[in-house]
Every structure is written in structure tokens, then in C-alpha cells.
Chains A and B, each alone.
With several copies, the nearest count.
Chain A
Amino acid sequence: MSLSVHDLTITRGGIPVLEGLNFSLEPGRALILRGPNGVGKTTLLRTVAGLQPPLSGRVDCPPESIAYAAHSDGLKAMLSVTENLNFWSDVFGRKDISAAIQAFDLAALTDRMAGTLSAGQKRRLGLARLLVTGRPIWVLDEPTVSLDTASVRMFADAVRAHLQAGGSALLATHIDLGLSEAEVLDVGPFRAGPNSTVPGGFDEGFL
């Protein structure tokens, strides 16, 4: 269940943004991606999650082992918190959502429609979804946006528990999560330059 990335070059809007990326993520480990705004973290995570193809290089990981969470939470405003979680747990073939509800302190909100939650409550619900997927590799894009400090700690605990259970996590974030055991990878140095030599970037067939 380990994820490894070999010599990856990724593009956004036809332009290479990061190139020559190599890293691997063993079970039980967490890797935090850092880098300035616009460097290409989101694009990298989408590529790893299989939502977009890389320009070159490859992502090795067992299919169907990734749980992806992005900027938007995929919540249905007109379904209650329980219904939202139940749906995802059904889709991923697991049944029990009470652990997830407990881990993100949603017990008081279970019957509320997701649309009436505050920004931070929505985010907590979005994160609780990860627990019901039962997938070993978490790929998370700025997971703690809008969370208060208590909830950030709650999230860090959830990640830690996940790691202890043999899972792994790849996170992009700008703030400190208090996950001291996680490795940090600054993607800044991998920014693709104008004389990128990877074939296919810049539509260079057109040059």
C-alpha cells in the first residue's frame, strides 16, 4: 500500500508547473507538501489521485487505495450530516459512521442539514468522510482551512490514528498542523523552468 512517484512532471492549462518530482510514501508515514501559492500543489495532488494524467513520469500506487479530499467537500446541502456520511460509507462499501462522527465531534450536529453548517463545521464533516472510505492513502488539499485550533488538533489526532493503523497521508498545507512526525517536502525547487526539457510541455510541438 505504498505510494511512489517517479520523475513526475505535471501540467496545468497546458503548461508544466512542477517537474522531476520523486518521492515515496510508506505505510505509517505522512508527507506534508509545502510551497508558495501557485506552485502547483493542488495540481500534484490531483495527478496523484488519478484525476488528471501526468505529462511524464509515473505514479505508482495500488488502484483504489486513495481517498482524496479537495478544496470543496462534496457535501449535499439538503442532506443531513448522517445522510451525507452514510452515502459515502455506502459508496466505499463500509457501514459504520459512528467512529467518524466521534473523531470530528459531529455528534451534536448529526440531524442538521449540511447546508446550515458553518464553514468550519462543513470542513469537519468533509474530513470525517475520509474515515468512512476505509482507504489507506489519504491525499488531502489544505484540509484545515476554516478550522479553529481545537479542530486542527482533532484533525491531527485523526491523521495520527490513521498512520498508526498502517495508513499514510499526503497533505498540502500552508499552516502548521502539529504533526511533528511528518516529513516535509518543499516543492518549490521542482518548479518547472522555461527551458524544461520534458517533451510535450508548452505545446512545444507548436514551437
Chain B
Amino acid sequence: MGSIWEYANPVKFSRTAGLVLPWVSIGATVTLVVGLVWGFFFTPDDYRQGSTVKIIYLHVPSALMAINVWFMMLVTSLVWLIRRHHVSALAAKAAAPVGIVMTVIALLTGAIWGQPMWGTWWAWDPRLTSFLILFLFYLGYLALWGAIDDPDTAADLTSVLCIVGSVFAVLSRYAVNFWNQGLHQGATLSLDKEENIADVFSTPLYISIAGFVLLFIALVFLRTRTEIQKRRTKALLARERLG
């Protein structure tokens, strides 16, 4: 069996991604449709939260993804810095927009949920706040990619940004927890009650989460392939110019 690093070759990766992509896409569509339809239409209303509880099927998966996408970018950034495989850097680049969209979905669904639940669109609850900070990190990361012309330089710089940023993101999380403790006790109660969720709610939730994961994988494969193709076009043009 070949080493996993074989797939670090852009051509090989492209080919493999091309083979896997249709299956992942189908899987993502099926799980998403099943999870969301089940969640939205075939679960009973919650006795306290009414039908608004159903937004959980978007909110929780997207929130989970938002964090995990950053984590994946952290790993691929490290791989790029250590082993200098272009695919790795491009995968990080491809994942970032998906991550920021997930963050926005989590924030928006949270806000929509918060309106009936807490009577406000936004509160400076520690968890919400650290999500907003995550959003800022994504924003800076994307802005840096956008501002630099040379792809390898951009890959290096964004990788370092991602790694240092992760440390600071964790720090911020603690800082925010500390900051809002003294003032807003109990505001977090409305979160953190996974244990209370009954099975009727949780099965579609798990399916929905799986759907988001598959969707993310499909998008990252697709976008990484596009990035590879872009680089390839550029390389071909450059070679042509020399000839």
C-alpha cells in the first residue's frame, strides 16, 4: 500500500478527487435531505420551545462544522509548512470560505433562534461571542489570501497566521468566558442541554450532522480541484510564454 502522501501530488489528488466526488456528493445530498426533512417535518414540537426548536438541525451542524473546519485548516497548514505539499495549502485555501459560510449560518440561525427564545437577536453570551471572534479570524485569514499575489508566499503567510491564530482563538475563548462571567450568570443555561434532547430529536440531528460533514468534504474536494486547475493553467501559460 502506498503512503498517504502520494495524494499530495496534485495530479494524483485531482484524479482521486474526481473519482470520489460524485459519491460524496450523492451521499451529502441524501443525508442532508433525509436529516433536514425528518428534522423539520417529522419530529414533534418541543413542549417549551415550540417549532422553533427545529432550527437546531441547521444550527448545531453548522456550528460544529465551523469549528472543525478551522481545525482542519490548522492541520493542513502544518502539513504545508512541514512537508510543503501544495495540495495541503490549497485545501486550506479551499476550506476557508466553506468555514466562514458555516460560521455565518451558525450565527444567523442562532440569531433567528435567539429572537423567540431570549427576545433578542444578539447577546454577548460567551459562546456566541467566541463564535464572532472565530468569524473575525476567518475574515482575516481570507483577506490575507486575497491580498497576496504570489501563491506560495500567500500559502506560507496564511499558514503561520492560521497556527498563531489558533492559539489566540483558544486564548480568546477563555478570555470571553472570564469576561462575561461576572455579569451574565446563567445566560448560558439555554445552551448546553444536549443530555435533555430526546431520541426523537437526536437521530435526525445526527443524520444532519453527517450530511454537513459530507457536504463539506465534497465542497473541499471540488474547490481544491479548482484551485489546482487554476495553478495548472497559470503554469501552462507561463511555460508557453517562455517557449
Q: A interface vs B, CB < 8 Å?
A: 13-15, 78, 108, 113, 115-116, 192-195, 202-207
Contacts and interface: CB of A to CB of B under 8 A. Distances in A.
A117 to B, nearest CB: 13
A98 B90 CA distance: 38
Interface of B: 9-11, 86, 149-152, 228, 231-232, 234-236, 238-243
B86 A14 contact: no
**9 nearest A-B residue pairs (beta carbon):** A194-B243, A206-B232, A203-B235, A194-B242, A202-B235, A15-B238, A206-B231, A194-B239, A206-B10
A182 B56 CA distance: 77
Contacts of B149: 78, 113, 115-116
A204 to B, nearest CB: 7
B243 A193 contact: yes
Query: Which of B11, B231, B235 neighbours the largest number of chain A CB atoms within 10 Å of its CB?
Result: B235
Interface of A is mostly: mixed
Main secondary structure of the interface of B (DSSP, over half): helix
Given A78-B149, A202-B235, A206-B231, 12 more contacts: A14-B238, A116-B149, A192-B242, A193-B243, A203-B86, A204-B235, A205-B10, A205-B11, A206-B228, A206-B232, A206-B235, A207-B11
A115 to B, nearest CB: 7
A139 B134 CA distance: 46
Contacts of A195: 243
B91 to A, nearest CB: 14
A27 B11 CA distance: 47
Contacts of B10: 205-206
B229 to A, nearest CB: 8
Contacts of B150: 13-14
Contacts of A78: 149
